[in-house]
A and B are shown apart, each in its own frame.
Chain A
Amino acid sequence: MTDITDTIDTARPPAPAPLPVQPPSGCPFDPPPLSNLLERGDPHDEFGALRAEEPISKISLPDGSWAWLATRYADIRAILGDTRFSSDTTLHGYPLSGMTGGASTENRGFIRRDPPEHTRLRRMVTREFMVKRVEALRPEIQRITDELCDAMERAEGRTADLVEALALPVPSLVISLLLGVPYDDHEIFQRLTGTLLSRTVTDAEREAARIELRDYLDQLVTAKEADPGDDILGRLIIEQRQTGEITHDEVAAFAALLLIAGHETTANMIGLSALTLMRDRATAEQLRRDPALIRGAVEELLRFHSIIRNGPRRVATVDVEIDGHLIRAGEGVVAAVPSGNRDESVFADADRLDIRRPNAQHHVAFGYGIHQCLGQALARVELQVVIATLLRRFPAMRPAVPVEEIPFRTDMAIHGCHALPVTW
């Protein structure tokens, strides 16, 4: 299993240049500008300068190694869409240091492989995440969301930590449903996934939870082998028996990957989106009046927040010229998704949240190329359901602390809030 905690070494790297793909210090929002936050520096300004002056620049990584940083939308798409740039983390030159998902090259899932292996493994699970399958799950996702909202309403004092009460449990419960985690185990599954992503536990507690979850998934696969259910793991096991193509450990690795990839990301998008709309009352009101706007709003929120702060990453397998810039075989590349999604040449007035933006779905928040997020249809539906439900059921919800006191995940590779105290 990969390192789930994704902690970035925040120590300042040596020359050639700092890594501007680290999360901003403080509030992640540009609009409305707050003078005290602007003083702390805004990564989007830095990205803007790089896009204009040095769109492919050299950066140093936390361990002192270096890689190219691509900041323009077109260059990011050109690199991620070109299989001469490899995702194989075991290749010499792959920029592992500080990457999302940890630098370990053990038990690589398909996302860290190239075709044909990548294609073969990815296609074992693509059907599970196709649009019509995910749409069929929408009522279940709504039920899960409503039950969590019911619990928030019952809580004393009309306050909650939205991250703990909603943002983390929704994707945890949805993925447990998909994997076929028995209902009686939901509590333990949620406790373990919550501990893994908590910053208030000790390293020893987190490591213990990681091992317990790994063992839990291993036992779950064993149970499914005896009695495969109508779920992702059950279907993978039936396929395994038919073709002999995947082993017990590979099924368990799939389970871990799907959990990791879908949990922290979705949770942080829920938190940031909720906070954005609590602070942008006019947009929230538009969404309440016209629920059909939610689909476009989610695309725009994905573009605007671009929570993957330091990737995706590739290594060139041959010399490749991108936009007149030579990237040599064996050199690493970091695609700055938050920069590409604020590229003014593609997204007019890019620093503004505009839920009616006609080309919002052109964002690269899910990556680009054959590795583009497998679970994107699911993430979209989860975000649509949760945001629309929050707006409908808690129209008066607001942050319970000043925005400056919200603990943003400035220390993590995936941006968001560690906690989001709200009241209503």
Chain B
Amino acid sequence: MKITLDADKCCAAGQCVLVAPEVFDQRDEDGVVVLLDAEPAADQHAAVREAAAICPAAVIEVHE
């Protein structure tokens, strides 16, 4: 699994951080998404897919 972000579109809702906190974070100055792990281990895959599914701004793209 490989994750790419279009962070310019991020509206800082924070849903990805709630769902997959080991993969996503928010930067301190404006809460915009930060990728902690672009190629997460298998145990994170379900959470990452969930984060991509509920991201309100469709920022997270998952390549499998």
Which A positions have Cβ atoms within 8 angstroms of B? 81, 119, 122-123, 126-127, 129-132, 361-362, 366-374, 376-377, 380
Given contacts A127-B29, A132-B26, A362 and B53 within 8 Å (CB-CB)? yes
B32 at the interface (CB under 8 A from A): yes
Report the separation of the CA atoms of residues A119 and B57 in the bound assembly, to the nearest whole angstrom: 12
How many of chain B's residues have a CB under 8 angstroms from any CB in A? 23
A299 → chain B, closest Cβ, in Å?
A: 9
Q: A371 vs B21: C-alpha distance in the bound complex, in angstroms?
A: 22
> Does any Cβ of A come within 8 Å of B13's Cβ?
yes
Query: A254 → chain B, closest Cβ, in Å?
Result: 15
Given the complex, which residues of A lie within 8 Å of B2, measured CB to CB? none
When distances are taken between beta carbons in the complex, the residues of chain B under 8 Å from A374 are 12-13
Inter-chain CA distance A368–B54, complex, in Å, is 9
In whole angstroms, how far apart are the Cα atoms of A167 and B53 in the complex? Answer: 32
Asked whether any CB of chain A lies closer than 8 Å to the CB of B35, the reply is no
Q: Within B18-33, which residues are at the interface with A (CB < 8 Å)?
A: 18-19, 21, 25-26, 28-32
Residues of B within 8 A of A (CB): 9, 11-15, 17-19, 21, 25-26, 28-32, 50, 53-54, 56-58
Known: A371-B11, A374-B12. 4 other contacts (CB 8 A): A81-B57, A127-B30, A370-B57, A376-B13
Q: How far is the CA of A362 from the CA of B53 in the complex (A)?
A: 8
Q: How far is the CA of A74 from the CA of B55 in the complex (A)?
A: 14
Chain B interface, >50% SS class: loop
Given A373-B13, A377-B18, does the pair A126, B31 have CB atoms closer than 8 Å? yes
The answer for the CA separation of A362 and B50 in the assembled complex, in Å, is: 9
A380 neighbours in B (Cβ, 8 Å): 18
Please state if B53 and A126 are interface contacts (CB–CB under 8 Å). no
Among the listed B13, B21, B31, B58, which residue makes an inter-chain contact with A127, where contact means beta carbons less than 8 Å apart? B31
User: Which of these, B11, B14, B58, contacts A377 with CB under 8 Å?
Assistant: B14
Roughly how many angstroms separate A126 CA and B57 CA in the complex, as a whole number? 14
User: Chain A residue with minimal CB distance to B33?
Assistant: A130
Q: B56 touching A129 by the CB < 8 A rule?
A: no
Nearest chain B CB to A296 CB, angstrom units: 11
By a CB distance below 8 angstroms, the chain A residues around B13 are: 366, 372-374, 376
Query: With A126-B12, A372-B13 in contact, is A131–B26 under 8 Å at CB?
Result: yes
Complex A-B: 10 CB contacts under 8 Å:
A81-B57, A122-B11, A126-B31, A130-B26, A131-B14, A131-B18, A132-B17, A361-B15, A372-B13, A374-B12
> Cβ of B54 and Cβ of A361 under 8 Å apart?
yes
